[in-house]
Structures are given as C-alpha cells and as structure tokens.
Amino acid sequence: MYQPNSNPFEIAKGKGTIKHTLVGINVATTFTGFCSVHDNELFRPIDEGSLAPTGEHSFLLHYRALCRELYVKRPTVETNQLLRDIDRGMAPAMQHMVQGFVTARGLAIKDSIKEIESDKVLCDKGILARDYTGVHGCTLTFQRVPTLACSGLTQPAYDFSGKILQRIDDMSKPLFNLSFTLLPNASGAIAVFAWLRDADIVCRPFVSSLLAVSNDRKSDALVQLVFDSFENHAAQPDWWDSLSAETKADLEERMLNWTDIRPINDRALVLGSCRFADWGFETASWI
C-alpha cells in the first residue's frame, strides 16, 4: 500500500512536499494504541463481519479514530520543540519567525489534545453504558471496493461548496471534531462520518454539502477529502501507479492543506474537472 510520509523533518527536507511511499499492508492497517485483548473485545463488532450503517458501528469507528488521533498527537508536543533547532545559522529575523511559529504550533497542539481528551471522556461513558446515541453521523455505501482506505479525525473548517464552517485559527473557541472512515465491506465500500452530538452545528452541514454533490462525483469528492484532511490513509498501488503525473501532483499538493505550511484554502474541497475514482455511489443514511 502507498502511504504519505508525514514526518515533519522529511517534509522540511523535501522543501515542503509530501510523498507517498510503499509500506506493507500490516504497517498500513495496524494501530498499536490498545493492547490486543482490549482491542479485540472492544472493536469486535466492526472487525468481525461486514461494516453496516448502524449507531454502534459508527460509534466504534469514531472512538477508534479519536483514540488514534490522541495517541499520535500526544508525542508531537515534544517533537514540536525539536523544530526550534532548525533555525540555526539563519538571520535573526528568520529565527524570530521560526520561534514564533513553533510556539504558536505548540499551543495549538495542546489545545487540540485537550479537546480530544474531552471528547474521549464522553465516549468512554457511552462505551461503559453501551449507549451509542451520543454519536451522530452519516453513512455512504458504494458498489465497488474503494481504491483508498482511511480512518482519521479532523476539524472541518470549510465544506464542499467552499463555505466556512469554523475558524481553526481562532483559539478562543473550541473546535468540533469529525471522524471519517473509508473501508471495503461485503457489498463494496462504506464511508462513515461520525461526530459527537454537540458538533451537529458544524458536521451536519459539512456532510450535507457532500450529499449535494452529484452522485457520479461523490467518489471524487471523497478522494479530495482524504488527501486534504487525513494523513492516515493508504492507497492501492495499482490505482496510484495508474494515475498521471499531473494527477499525482494535484493530490500530493492537497496534502499540504493538513500541515502548517500553507494558509487555509476554503475552496480546497470544491470539485474541479479532475477525476480520481468512481466506486459507484449507492445510498446515504443519517444516524
């Protein structure tokens, strides 16, 4: 499988570019945040059998994405500090800019961790009570196996029409989290959006803007979303290798939208003429 190399030092070494590299399927699909016993017990409903558009499945997919994001983000508090050394030898003005960037990035990471931890507490209570009603969502099904797999958490700042949903640069307000999972299932593919009830104000309009996209372009929209918002994705080698150099460049350019390298582009998810995939959209259902 192809996965993006999101190491910040590799991105800096590549002068701000992110490239896909081949990894083994076990590397691409393994999350080691839980011990095997608890992982097997907790996620058995979504790991055994076929994924379905149910409240329980959506809740567990959201919880897994939430826990992975927390597991990955906590160490970045320390690794962010290592970036302070990259300004060695630079002019004083550039050093000042670098140090300011690292400080602001550190504060944003800590705020994000607090918000995710708060969401996790609510989900923990739901799991203990076997009450899955605290998570809302929407499930899309497709006829064919997807050329991408993805599981992640994001804070949607804009939707598929270019409308601003929340300001991620405004640290005075908490950001609403949305999880997204794209996986094959028994009938072809399933895409699951999920969020906590309080996030309806942002996440429901976001998904509604996707549903407004014509059915023959929904797969294209999801490909754009994956590359725009999630580093935790894997691409089928046959599909990725078949893309033109221009299409690959377009997708890899989109990946910079989830880094701190460039300013927010609220038109990033608006569909253009480029076609990426067609998995055969079937149904959409709200949870």
Q: 103-159: per-residue pLDDT in tens? A: 766 666 777 888 899 999 999 999 999 999 999 999 999 999 999 999 999 999 999
In terms of C-beta density within 10 A (0-12 exposed, 13-18 middle, 19 or more buried), how is residue 277 classed?
A: middle
| % of residues, the chain, pLDDT over 90 | 57
Can you give the pLDDT at residue 133?
Answer: 95
Say if residue 77's pLDDT is above 80.
no
Q: How is the chain split into domains, by residue range?
A: 2-286
Can you give the pLDDT at residue 102?
Answer: 65
User: What pTM, to 2 d.p., does this model score?
Assistant: 0.84
How far is it, in rounded angstroms, from Cα 197 to Cα 140?
19
Q: In which band, very low, low, confident or very high, does the pLDDT at 18 lie, cut at 50, 70 and 90?
A: confident
Say if residue 96's pLDDT is above 80.
no
Question: Residue holding tokens 């567990």?
Answer: 60
pLDDT mean across residues, the chain? 86
Amino acid occupying residue 108: A
- For residue 180, the 8-state DSSP code is E
> H or E stretch including 64?
helix 55-73
Residue 62 in contact with residue 123, Cβ under 8 Å? yes
Backbone φ and ψ for 170, nearest 5 degrees, come out as: -100, 95
Give the 3-state secondary structure of residue 54. Answer: coil
